[in-house]
Amino acid sequence: MFKKRIWKPLLIGLGWTICLAGLVVLMSFIEVKKSEMVCKAIKVFIPGNQYFIDRQEIDNILEMSSHTLVGRRIDNINIHELENKLKVNPFIEFAKVYADMDGTIHVEVSQRQPILRIVNRFDQDFYVDQHGLKIPLSHNFTARVLVANGFIDELFANKVDSLHTILAKDIFRTADFISRDSLWDAQISQIYINQQHEIELIPRVGNQRILLGNADSLSLKFNNLKVFYKQALPLVGWDAYKLINIKYANQVIGVKNETLQDSLKALAAHKADSVQVSTAAIKEKRDSVITSVISDEVDKPAQNKPPTESKPKAEKPVTNKPGNKPAATKTDKKTSIKKL
């Protein structure tokens, strides 16, 4: 009984020792094989559909054009140094470099995804990625993202950097909210910062400006704007307002486009005057025709007068004697005149 208790842990310890020794031998064998392995090829993988950095630029970073990697032994290639070279590029967010047992070096590159392009009041132009970091423009690719301009004081030092001003952070938050909503991503085309450093949105449909103010309560403000779009604008038209103020969380204020309203009123008045003039002309023409007809009808009897009749001579009255028939009296013919 006592011997069994001793041998059991010894056997377990011996098994672990053999496993570790086998692992060490295997690792040493791999290292020996790896030291003898020669780089045969380099495969580059760039996911996404925005190519701020292309394969040619990666080849230049890795010095592949000079064939300094292909043909060299793997143990003489500093993998970490290659990763650091790639990460220095402002358009690369993440880079991973590793070698397999076939002598192929794999390079995986993840690019930064811009969601906003800012043009500050000093005419500096730069992107802001999905993490709120400023990145420069690319000579290879132009991203179709929301553009913000106007009185923006955020400076750019031509390197990857974070946003510093509160206004720039509000612009980024607004652009990020818009990009995540399919409706507003399709409707809002531009962000403008006015002289009061308030955010204004320029829509694609309609000529009005949307005064957002700041980036507080974005969900509530845009929901109020959606309700205004559904209930108010269909009744008055998309161009009836020159400004829609949604800076207050509990109300929407619409400022009417007075120029448009005056134009519509003038057009309506002109149409009414035209209708009145045409009506008066038609009435005048009708009255002249009726007058002409009446005159013609009145003149007809004057031109065709009947012949004058001679006065009948006075006759002596005849007394009716008994047995005699009463004498017939003459009746004058009556001439009927048509009334006009």
Q: How many CB atoms are located within 10 Å of the residue 294 CB?
A: 11
Paired residues of 199 in beta bridges: 193, 213
Please compute, for residue 218, the number of CA atoms within 13 A of its CA located in the half-sphere on the CB side.
17
The model's confidence at residue 317, banded by pLDDT at 50, 70 and 90, is: very low
d(CA 340, CA 337): 9
Output the pTM of the full model: 0.65
The DSSP call for residue 47 is -
Query: Are the CB atoms for 254 and 241 separated by under 8 Å?
Result: yes
What pLDDT sits at residue 311? 46
Is the pLDDT at 254 greater than 80? The verdict is yes
Paired residues of 106 in beta bridges: 43, 98
All structural domains of the chain: 34-111 (3.10.20.310), 114-259 (3.40.50)
d(CA 252, CA 53): 44
The model's confidence at residue 132, banded by pLDDT at 50, 70 and 90, is: very high
**What is the DSSP secondary-structure string of 138-157?**
-SS-----EEEEES------
d(CA 318, CA 79): 159
What pLDDT sits at residue 22? 75
What pLDDT sits at residue 154? 96
- The better pLDDT of the pair 186, 277 is held by 186
The DSSP call for residue 75 is G
Spacing of C-alpha 226 from chain mean position: 13
Is the pLDDT at 289 greater than 80? The verdict is no
Among 70-79, 207-216, 225-234, 254-263, the least confident range: 254-263
The model's confidence at residue 58, banded by pLDDT at 50, 70 and 90, is: confident
Query: Are the CB atoms for 46 and 53 separated by under 8 Å?
Result: yes
The model's confidence at residue 16, banded by pLDDT at 50, 70 and 90, is: confident
d(CA 125, CA 309): 113
What pLDDT sits at residue 300? 53
Among 118-122, 227-231, 248-252, 302-306, the least confident range: 302-306
Q: What is the dihedral of CA 204, 208, 209, 210, to 10 degrees?
A: -90
Can you tell me the mean pLDDT for 149-166?
95
d(CA 39, CA 46): 21
- The better pLDDT of the pair 254, 318 is held by 254
Return the percentage of the chain with pLDDT > 90, whole number: 38
- The better pLDDT of the pair 17, 156 is held by 156
Cβ burial of 140 (10 Å; 0-12, 13-18, 19+) is: exposed
Among 47-56, 156-165, 227-236, 304-313, the least confident range: 304-313
Is the pLDDT at 142 greater than 80? The verdict is yes
